[in-house]
Amino acid sequence: MSNNNRSQDLLETIHPEFKEVLLTSIAAVKPHQRFSSVTITDPGFVLAIGKNAVVQTKAFLESAEIEMLGIRIHQVEGYTDETLEDYPNAIQYLSHPIPNEKTFQFTRKTLELISDLEPNTKLYVLISGGGSAAFALPEPEIIPEKYLEIIRLAIAAGFDIDELNLIRSLIDQVKGGKFGAKMDHLRIQSYVTSDVVSDDPKIVASGPTVAPLDIDTHVTKWLSRLMINMEIPISIDELIQRLPSESLDHVENTVITTRMDLISVLQAKLDSLGFDTMIADASLTSSIEETVATITQLIDQFSSFTGRILIWSGEPTISLPSQAIQNGKGGRISAICCLLADELEDYADILFLGLATDGKDGSSPSSAYVVNNETKSHLRPLGGARALIRAGNSGLALSSMGYGFDLGNTDINLLDLYIGIIM
């Protein structure tokens, strides 16, 4: 088996149609499919934010079949091949996961445009993962450089997505329901594609239209100490007081797609190929090490069940040195696949696959990886799984050995997907 064809050969070993099943399952939950059942009768202004902003807008407009008053799209750069030919000036491609001055300027202009809408105008907000970076504006007392440093440190500290987005909500003018509260002269309808385990719209893109937010004292203490050290001239209590304390009666939030929609489609398609498919756990949120221990235990339990496929989903956490984050070529999925490869050495008939449903595994060269009992021996000359992860190069190592493959721009963002196949 050559390096170049290794992942393709392994996928073919599972089933000749396995990769096609993955792709058609993703296609079944893209925004064009999900918005086809949504009834839109009122003209209004459209704001789309996140990794799927452009494709969500296209799907929304096709479903609406009525002309909108205006469109504003905060699209995360690098996550779509789609364009919006009729509204080229409405789109800005923005950085992720750290915003920048371009993001702040575009967000500021968006606020001005929407604030000027006539009272009682309908505002449609299309939200997908990545919106926290693409729709951002620091609180006035926090200069951009210190805002960005807080985000970098929070990511490096390994906070889970709920904790990270609470931090973002406290230091930002448009998160934690603050955007919705500012626009209380409008009728707001948000459609949310969930990229969080809880499927809580408060967490997706840091909940720009949802209040009130739950406060975690562990997080606020961390942020308070950091703000004091950075000499930021506002207290954590003052920031908490700026969060809307009650639900926003002029806002309706609808979660339109979740990871379970994708998993259900995938399970049915795999079963139709003759596999016995089991959803093991769709709520992974622990560290990558704890996640691997959980997955390994279940693989061992079912190792004699030929034809069984186990599915996991979620968003495990990974903590890396800053140099690895800045210079490495890896991500959460490739790291988990490297660690699983260590555990599979004695299982000749088991394959493990991890894929990023949004089409990107951090800074990895590939978006998906498949490993088996031989992978550990191939990684050993490169330093082994744990050393590669510490250096941030788990994706580079697996891809160089032929274990990576790409899904392209998927136009969805529904958390990580992990699949164990017992041959």
pTM: 0.95
pLDDT for the residue 88? 82
Report the distance separating Cα 16 and Cα 322, nearest Å: 41
* pLDDT tens-place string over residues 108-134: 999 999 999 999 999 999 999 999 999
Residue 1 has pLDDT above 70, yes or no: no
- What residues have CB less than 8 Å from 310, skipping those under 6 apart? 278, 280, 295, 298, 299, 302, 419, 420, 422
Pair of tokens at residue 288: 């990558």
Residue ranges, CATH 3.40.1480.10, the chain:
6-17+273-422
Average pLDDT score, the chain? 95
Q: Is the domain 31-258 a CATH 3.40.50.10180 member?
A: yes
- CATH code for residues 6-17+273-422: 3.40.1480.10
pLDDT at 322: 83
More confident residue, 3 or 112: 112
pLDDT at 2: 59
Which residues of the chain are in CATH 3.40.50.10180 domains? 31-258
pLDDT digits (tens, 9 = 90+) for 146-197: 999 999 999 888 898 999 999 999 999 999 999 999 999 999 999 999 999 9
User: What percentage of the chain reaches a pLDDT higher than 90?
Assistant: 92
Give the model's confidence band at 95: pLDDT under 50 very low, under 70 low, under 90 confident, else very high. Answer: very high
Which among 240, 270, 214, 257 is positioned nearest to 31, based on CA atoms? Answer: 257
Q: What is the pLDDT of residues 316-331, one digit of tens each?
A: 999 888 888 889 999 9
* Residues 6+ positions from 152 with CB-CB distance below 8 Å: 98, 322
